[in-house]
Structure 1
């Protein structure tokens, strides 16, 4: 029940935190880590990147580059018959010289130019004049709250029309030459489909996202590689004609800036691990998207998939229950630590394996759940153990031997039920003690001195009970009731006999301690004392007695009454400092270890049947009869 309750609470709290997006940063960090751990795929041979580097800008001695420079680069690339060229440079305004030459190159049917979608701050950038709309694509990228690019934007609806992404325009143009055209989706006619691959748009809660801005038509960007995405040449190489024509022929060529001074760079999942190149140029990100489109359409490469919300809830809940179960059933700290480590490792390994197959499932949330529920269950167990210990000490008192205490604590789960020690039938040995003529003694001393004197006596005989593995059940003013054989059930004859022997040894030890006390009291001019002990072995019922506000550990049964009657029998027939009376029911367990004096069958007070009574004289080896 504790496992279910704690797991349900932890799962509910995690889902609430997840609902408000509190765990989204951790999930995105897990996503980034898996992207970095995933091996890069081979460079995409269908692409060529023409990078405008810092060296190129210095060589041209002009930024932005002139229209003539761009036109010359396009003209040289066209000589080698590329499939399509994407110009990732804004050309809404002329950069003389070369306006006419660039306009001529932009009229080529395989050239795709860019625009920037007008945003809330009215910062849009118009496309180059004269280029038809079907060869214009926006180069806007969509970043997450932490500034990392994990999603690709395919379409944006405006008041006038639907705009296509730059990368999508390039892919459509290339695939058209391969005989593949964009189709309506089979699952939803509004979805984009290339061949058998349907691009499912992201929802605000897709994967580990909880409140992502999913406006437009977005998909999760499946990065191909962190650096060697495709063959890359520089603008200078193109202008100088030093590139191999086969690198261009039939390829998708993307021309854009990679110079950091151009500030067209973005954070990606690789950024955390990269020191030299912590950001990726925008033209490379567009190339990543183009490669993803081509891979899905031509190579049937799977897109990222996600579970529905209810499956993710079951996934998180299952791991939380597993963590709670481990914490409940594994008691050893090292074993629990190892089990939790193995469980979290298995969780992370499973998530990574699914990620390798394009599945993005909650990773950080169930890991946090496993650790949290383990801590809570361990804390609950510790609190429960403390409560049980307090309960057992309250019921049994602190007057138990270390051996008994260890045995009781080891069996606490079995013994304690609903905060009580349930009644159980046992065979035990009861030991009653009392001081002879205590009333007379109490008249001879002031109450304060009497209390101190009595505590000295009780402390001494209590110590002997502990040493002999008994439990003091109650104090009866100037006496006590000790029980040997509770609350652990004694199942064998050997165990019952051992309890009886320990009870008699305890009584003899009490006699010796009282003699020592009397000698000390005489020297201190205090009254001396005599005591009586009654011992009986037999069946009893032991368990918690009382109500919810006051409980004590009690033993009841005729055996308890007989032990009490043995102690009080013939109070005046006592010459020694300590008289010890036992019944035959105890004697049969002693195996001639002690010397006894038969008193014969006696009629004890309140008993109809006669009881065979014996007086213990001492150890058989020490007494001459």
Structure 2
């Protein structure tokens, strides 16, 4: 094929045009989309996709492993101060510890002593032995908050930094950087109590949960993970699979805890997080569940991170993963190809659009189901590829079809009726190749007309009147040919060549008979119209004209003739030559009232008892050795002669 394309590119293009157009559309569209994706142009859309998918997931049950002791706006108002003194936090720890919790996490910086009770705070944390304090790691900002030595000696700690995307949206969790995060430390402490460990593999640079159910790797983000592009993926980051919107965990009031109004079972064997939910303290962030002004407080974001790790270890809830880059590229290519191929194979425009809708809905369903199984697949790049490739192929086909239509119209519009042009267009694939009509053998009936003594007649009239008169004459002939389903092949001065049975090939004898009938009917109509026109011209002082008509039937070769600069559709063959000789024979032989002479082939085809024929004789036509039987056409058989005589 490559060798053929090198030597005959137009021929190969016409033969494989649809396949080549489809393939080029697939490669071009997928290439552009992958390029846009590689520079991050689609990242905002893909991150919105993540948000939508999270919100579309079925609502999950509230986790009973975590209780949040919140310091709300109402709590601040009831105590009438902020920040609370260390003594208040010491009391909270003592009350919670008495209920035997698994881990106590304080999502509040305690680096600077506040008021009285520092010693009590240290003592309470030491007695509990399971307290994790919050720190701030210096990442993109210079400031840092470290745990003071007095608390570090009696408790654990971890940073509460969270990575943020554009718009400060929190979609990721940073588990480990210079040291472990607040949430990761709490999750580890809880799992150890259940004989489950989180182990770091330095060779694979990965954390894995090892428990009774086996090993579960915590998937780590890289700079181009899923819909992300060149993000800061330092440390060990994972996608944050939120359990749901704000309120997914049990919240209790810190004031209620201090007043002793809560049952100890709310804390027993649980992770208890103490954190701020007061708007005035400003510890909140947008999340995928943030619609409008809805935000999530830092303590609850940490609860989701902890819960995600615990659910993976204890409930077999998988971490959400993205496919490798090459797999995502193949995924996008497949959907782009689906859109292009559907547009190429389906003929009807409305059906094309219907299939496009079905494909889009299928893509939505597949992406949603994959996400429910913890796989984040590219939706927007895929649907863009699908829709754009579909539209591009439709546009290319439409453009090419318009060019083909223009070509066919230019070849045939002057020669056939508008109805036949439309029929030709519907069957264009049968004979249109390389911008020309391919030659094919067809059975036709050819009609020739020629005016007698045109030169002598033209001499006695002014040139402009000759042109008007000739156009009226030729127009009358063409009108009758087209009205009876024929094609005006060409004008040769005052002569006309018409063909019946092209360009749509007729394969059956019944169609050949109809073509012959149509040709003779058209010839008789031409003779009648010219008789009427002679009367008008005679009244105008113009000379009468006599037109000879020759008709013959048989097989010819039909196709485009000429160069690319000037091309026309025509038929060639001996049948054409005989028709021309029969027309010329009218100068020697009486062709009847309408001067119509036909060959035996046409006479044999005509519907019996439809035309009055008279055998003239066998004649040696010019250029032929054998004699040709010739008939004259006298007209249609009168209707009266077709009816049986009445019984007497």
TM-score range, shorter chain: over 0.9
Task: Find the counterpart in structure 2 of residue 55 from structure 1.
Answer: 74
What per-residue deviation string (whole Å, max 9, x for no partner) do you get for residues 111-144 of structure 1? 1111111244413223345232871111111122
Of 234, 237, 240 in structure 2, the residue corresponding to residue 218 of structure 1 is 237
Distance in 1 separating the partners of 2:366 and 2:254? 45
Task: Find the counterpart in structure 1 of residue 475 from structure 2.
Answer: 459
Change (3 A) 1:574 1:452: farther
Of 607, 616, 625 in structure 1, the residue corresponding to residue 633 of structure 2 is 616
Distance in 2 separating the partners of 1:461 and 1:98? 117
Matched, 1:551 2:563: no
1:78-477 equivalences in 2 (<5 Å) = 78-107=97-126, 108-132=128-152, 135-156=156-177, 162-185=178-201, 188-195=204-211, 196-272=215-291, 275=292, 278-477=294-493
Task: Find the counterpart in structure 2 of residue 560 from structure 1.
Answer: 576
Distance in 2 separating the partners of 1:270 and 1:515? 89
Counterpart secondary structure, 1:125: coil
Counterpart secondary structure, 1:191: strand
Distance in 2 separating the partners of 1:26 and 1:524? 80
Change (3 A) 1:50 1:143: same
Change (3 A) 1:517 1:67: farther
Offset at 1:244?
A: 1.5
What per-residue deviation string (whole Å, max 9, x for no partner) do you get for residues 435-481 of structure 1? 22111122222322222222222222212222111111211121221
Task: Find the counterpart in structure 2 of residue 606 from structure 1.
Answer: 623
What per-residue deviation string (whole Å, max 9, x for no partner) do you get for residues 513-551 of structure 1? 223333333344444422121111100011112233332
Of 530, 547, 552 in structure 2, the residue corresponding to residue 514 of structure 1 is 530
Offset at 1:557?
A: 0.7
More deviation in 515-524 or 457-466? 515-524
Offset at 1:228?
A: 4.1
TM-score by length of 1: 0.94
Distance in 1 separating the partners of 2:45 and 2:391? 20
Distance in 1 separating the partners of 2:472 and 2:124? 112
Distance in 1 separating the partners of 2:118 and 2:529? 118
* 8 Å Cα contact 2:480-2:522 kept in structure 1: yes
Distance in 1 separating the partners of 2:280 and 2:532? 98
* 8 Å Cα contact 2:416-2:486 kept in structure 1: yes
Offset at 1:316?
A: 1.2
What per-residue deviation string (whole Å, max 9, x for no partner) do you get for residues 179-232 of structure 1? 222213398154344431111211112222222221111011111122342211
Task: Find the counterpart in structure 2 of residue 159 from structure 1.
Answer: none
Change (3 A) 1:43 1:124: same
1:525-544 equivalences in 2 (<5 Å) = 525-544=541-560
Distance in 2 separating the partners of 1:169 and 1:226? 24
* 8 Å Cα contact 2:618-2:629 kept in structure 1: yes
RMSD: 2.1
* 8 Å Cα contact 1:617-1:623 kept in structure 2: no
Distance in 2 separating the partners of 1:516 and 1:380? 52
TM-score by length of 2: 0.91
* 8 Å Cα contact 1:153-1:219 kept in structure 2: yes
Distance in 1 separating the partners of 2:98 and 2:480? 108
Change (3 A) 1:64 1:516: farther
* 8 Å Cα contact 2:592-2:633 kept in structure 1: no
Offset at 1:170?
A: 0.6
* 8 Å Cα contact 1:403-1:469 kept in structure 2: no
Counterpart secondary structure, 2:598: strand
**Matched pairs, number:** 617
Of 16, 27, 43 in structure 1, the residue corresponding to residue 46 of structure 2 is 27
* 8 Å Cα contact 1:48-1:248 kept in structure 2: yes
Distance in 2 separating the partners of 1:265 and 1:439? 101
Offset at 1:371?
A: 0.8
Structure 2: where are the runs of 5+ without partners? 1-18, 643-648
Change (3 A) 1:524 1:265: farther
Change (3 A) 1:186 1:566: farther
More deviation in 443-452 or 13-22? 443-452
Counterpart secondary structure, 1:596: strand
Change (3 A) 1:468 1:101: same
Distance in 2 separating the partners of 1:497 and 1:293? 85
More deviation in 382-391 or 138-147? 138-147
Distance in 2 separating the partners of 1:380 and 1:513? 47
Structure 1: where are the runs of 5+ without partners? 157-161
Offset at 1:402?
A: 3.6
Distance in 1 separating the partners of 2:591 and 2:308? 106
Distance in 1 separating the partners of 2:104 and 2:585? 116
Distance in 2 separating the partners of 1:585 and 1:95? 118
* 8 Å Cα contact 2:108-2:275 kept in structure 1: yes
Distance in 2 separating the partners of 1:286 and 1:601? 109
Change (3 A) 1:3 1:80: same
Offset at 1:91?
A: 2.1
Change (3 A) 1:135 1:522: farther
Task: Find the counterpart in structure 1 of residue 611 from structure 2.
Answer: 594
Offset at 1:291?
A: 0.5
Change (3 A) 1:284 1:76: same
